[in-house]
Amino acid sequence: MAVALPLPLRRTFTYRLATGMPAPLAGTRVRVPFGERILTGIVLGGEPGPAPDGLREILEVLDAVPVCPPDLLATAERVAERFFAATGEILKSALPARLPSSGAASYRITEKGALGAASAEPDERPILQRLAGGESVRVVDLPGEGLPRLSAVRALEERGWIRPTSTFRPCVSRPEIAYALGALRGAERESALGRSRKGREAVAFLDSLGRAASGAEIRASTGAGAAVLRGLVAKAILRSFEQQRQADAPFSPGGQPRFEPTAAQAAAIDAITAAVRERRYFPALLEGVTGSGKTEIYLRSIRAALNAGRGAVWLVPEIALTPVFARELSRQFPEDAAVLHSALSERERAEAWDRVRAGKARAVIGPRSAAFAPVVEPGLFIVDEEHDASYKQRESPRYDAREVVALRAKQAGAALVFGSATPSMEAYHAAQVGRLAHLKLPERIAARPLPRVEIVDLRRQTARPDEKGVPLFSAPLVARLTEVFSRGEQAILLQPRRGFAPFLLCRDCGHDFRCSRCSVSRTVHDRGQRLVCHYCGERAPKPARCPECGGAVLEAIGAGTERVADRFTELFPGVSSAVLDRDTTRRRGAAAALVEGMRLGRITCLIGTQMVAKGHDFPGVTAVGVLSADTMLHFPDFRASEKTFQLLAQVAGRAGRGDAAGTVHVQTFHPQHPAIRRAAEHDVAGFAAEELEFRRVFFYPPFCELAALLVSASDRERASEAASNLARALASTSGALRISGPAPAPLERLQGRWRFQILLRASDRRSVLAALAAAVPERPPAAVQIAVDVDPQDLM
């Protein structure tokens, strides 16, 4: 039998069945010997008949029913092939790590089984007798043993004579304590509150929220901990009770859509739902300006899919940043929603997977990995913010979720909706040539205008003496923010780098404190107290003197979010602000708390990296400031321009989503750059026309298929030589290829390894894959690693 193992090897392994062992179905997990180890793999299929001698035997079959449904197994194999990855690794990313053995499931007899008992096979009869009383019994407690018992159970289940009650014991997650306002109100409450600042904040928070909140939620937003809250309960200012955790609890018992769709929304919904009902493959680009109401289209399409008896998968870049989507899905479809987010425990993930696979939950929302959600009879796949780079996995296996759902949609005859205000050049081009239907929402809801964007030329702004010629807050931005805050409106500030400053410089000798293991300078963190390498995570306290020359004047150059936040407080004392970036959102729930704080108006100004640009809908935001638009322009990546355009247009789109109009200030040293100008004009078509022309002329995606090969070793010579050999091997394959390199990768050294890059281009994927198959050795030379990234989104 062919078995896929979770190893980075692009081949399957063949194992023999022990005598008398019934052949496990494809998609079943088995334990097999591999070298000295025992691994869990997935059966792909193969001969159940006699296997040649010399093969090793399958040790154990873990599941009575396949954990991976056949359609998904086929998808995994196709994805592995298309991304030059290992099927076993793809399956490993697709399946939850701790899926319990489905042999541990419990079963109950069905009416059909009770009626048919007399005509059952001899090995089935004892099982039916044991179940005859109607109770639910675990497979291990049923009569019989091992595999014969499993195969009898399977046969009975296939005939519908017994059915699994639940693969899991019901999830009883620990309840949490929630708080609501208590009996005390008005002046009485005022005097009981006394001087406790945190207590007052907690009460104000609950007041503004208008509902109960969990202790964790209150602490995240106000800093009031359990002791403070208990004190308030003791004074009858609050009351407390136990509630189910938010993650498990449906938001409210079922719900209707929130709005009547606009005409433009209705047209898109009609096109999508017609395909869903007709079981027709319908790939579409939903290009809707920011604030045009794409979410409502997704929700209505999901409703239509469920009504048609089909399931839906809704991919979002980062669920923690858009908790309202998941909440709305759970509110509208409390029975059917499954939220797959990264904060789930392995057990919760396995439970969700099982609910979905069993057809109990049919509407799934989640990030990249949810592309593999085992939805039964899928009729709709949505990729929200389709342009987002997070859909491509950077580590092995390097698959692209967009392609995964495209394969599944085609196979299932489903609608496939790529939604974005700033489509990727791939999607835009596909829509132009008719491979994607082009659905458009050209206007914001309620005909709200798109925000006016002002480009601020930093060359004409005077910097403060400590700013080294690069002003942080330009005069026009400060003036606008002052106005906005005085009206009680909110703002978002984007600074695309985290930490205090991008690097530290010795004023005497110019030493720049590079990481000892990576070819990048370390970033200054903790208000200048620490140096951190953003690539390998290495941290060190800031030295008092330069290690090279002993110089004492060490200067933090440039600004990250931390420094921007400090300067903000200086400029706008008393205006509440918070930082949203990778550093401030490490704790589980922290991102959602910040987003919620912004939504409720507790935070007036949100400062952050690109995380502030992601799909948020804060109606109170009327001003957006981009402190530096240039960071990404200089990246050595053919997508630098596209990514800059998308980031600017997306962050601009956060302004003016409510009743008051919005403005955007974009600070840049390159005011004429097309990416910046077109973003300021909200001109997707104009940007795409120029950008696609560049891609066509220079033979880049979407006009070619690209693969990046990265050869690395801790010894530079060794890496360089292996890279040259690989390039030669590629060149000697027969296809029509364009090979660039080897050249040192933009990030030449990472975690102590030297890296060389080869770019391989051809006009079709098949040629790329054929060349890779012919040239990339199954085992690289000693101490060398070869990483292949097909259709890379990141060329560092």
Residues that bind ligand ADP (CB under 6 A): 259-262, 265, 288, 290-296, 445, 617
Output 658 or 792, the one with its CB closest to ligand ADP: 658
By CB under 5 A, tell whether 532 contacts Zn ion: no
Pick from ligand ADP, Zn ion, none: which does 420 bind, CB < 5 to 8 A by kind? none
Instruction: Determine the Cα–Cα distance for residues 770 and 768; give it in Å rounded to an integer.
Output: 5
262 binds, among ligand ADP, Zn ion, none (CB under 5 to 8 A by kind): ligand ADP
**Where does this chain touch Zn ion (CB under 5 A) — which range of 101-109, 308-316, 523-531, 532-540?**
532-540
CB within 8 Å of 282: residues ≥ 6 apart: 271, 272, 275, 276, 414, 415, 416, 437
Instruction: For residue 390, report the phi and psi dihedrals to the nearest 5 degrees.
Output: -70, -10
583 binds, among ligand ADP, Zn ion, none (CB under 5 to 8 A by kind): none
Can residue 515 be called a binding residue for Zn ion (CB under 5 A)?
yes
The pair of structure tokens assigned to 456 is: 């601020």
Distance CA 530, CA 107 (A): 58
- Which segment (65-73, 527-535, 624-632, 667-675) binds Zn ion by CB under 5 A? 527-535
b/e burial code for range 771-790 (CB count within 10 A of at least 16 → b): bbeebbeeebbeebbbbbbb
Helix or strand (DSSP H, E) at 531: strand 530-532
- Do the beta carbons of residue 314 and residue 298 sit within 8 Å? yes
Shortest separation between residue 618's beta carbon and ligand ADP, angstroms: 9
Partner from Zn ion, ligand ADP, none binding residue 597, C-beta < 5-8 Å depending on class: none
Smallest separation (angstroms) from ligand ADP to the CB of 659: 11
> Closer CB to ligand ADP, residue 290 or residue 622?
290
In the complex, the smallest distance separating the C-beta of residue 445 from ligand ADP, rounded to whole angstroms, is 4
**From the list ligand ADP, Zn ion, none, partner contacted by residue 292 (C-beta under 5 to 8 A by kind):** ligand ADP
Alpha carbon distance 33, 56 (integer Å): 7
How many Å apart are CA 370 and CA 372, to the nearest integer? 5
Q: Which residues, in sequence order, are CB contacts of 13 under 8 Å at separation 6+? A: 2, 3, 4, 5, 32, 34, 41
Instruction: Report the C-alpha gap between 414 and 574 in whole angstroms.
Output: 52
Q: Does 533 bind Zn ion (CB under 5 A)?
A: yes
Least distance to ligand ADP, CB of residue 730, Å:
43
9: partner contacted, choices ligand ADP, Zn ion, none (Cβ within 5-8 A by kind)? none
CB of 262 to ligand ADP, least distance (A): 5
Q: How far apart are CA 720 and CA 699, in angstroms?
A: 26
Based on CB atoms, which residue is closest to Zn ion, 518 or 593?
A: 518
- Asked if residue 49 lies in contact with residue 8, where contact means CB atoms within 8 angstroms, the answer is no
Position 247 contacts Zn ion (CB under 5 A): no
Dihedral angle over CA of 250, 256, 258, 259, nearest 10: 160
Among Zn ion, ligand ADP, none, what does residue 514 contact (CB within 5–8 Å per kind)?
Answer: none
Residue 517: which of Zn ion, ligand ADP, none does it interact with, CB under 5 to 8 A by kind? Zn ion
Least distance to ligand ADP from the beta carbon of 302, Å?
Answer: 14
Site residues (CB under 5 A) for Zn ion, limited to 470-509? none
Please choose which of ligand ADP, Zn ion, none residue 102 contacts, taking the beta carbon within 5 to 8 angstroms, the exact cut-off set by kind.
Answer: none
Which residue number, 322 or 495, has a Cβ lying nearer to ligand ADP? 322
Cβ distance to ligand ADP smaller for residue 442 or 465: 442
Query: Measured from the CB atom, is 314 or 535 closer to Zn ion?
Result: 535
Q: Would you count residue 518 as binding Zn ion (CB under 5 A)?
A: yes
**Partner in contact with 445, chosen from Zn ion, ligand ADP, none, beta carbon below 5 to 8 Å by kind:** ligand ADP
Closer to Zn ion by CB, 536 or 729: give it: 536
Q: Is 108 helix (H, G, I), strand (E, B) or coil?
A: strand
Show the tokens assigned to 787: 């990483």
Going across the sheet that includes 753-762, the strands are 738-750, 753-762, 705-713, 785-790
Instruction: State yes or no: residue 64 binds Zn ion (CB under 5 A).
Output: no
Helix-then-strand count for the chain, H and E: 23, 33
SS3 call for 618: coil
Residue 453 C-beta-side C-alpha neighbours within 13 Å = 24
CB of 286 to ligand ADP, least distance (A): 9
Q: Is 536 in the site for Zn ion (CB under 5 A)?
A: yes
Nearest to 637 by CA among 320, 399, 395, 425: 425
Q: Does 279 bind Zn ion (CB under 5 A)?
A: no
- The entry of ligand ADP, Zn ion, none that residue 423 binds, CB within 5 to 8 Å by partner kind: none
Binding site for Zn ion (CB under 5 A): 515, 517-518, 533, 535-536, 538
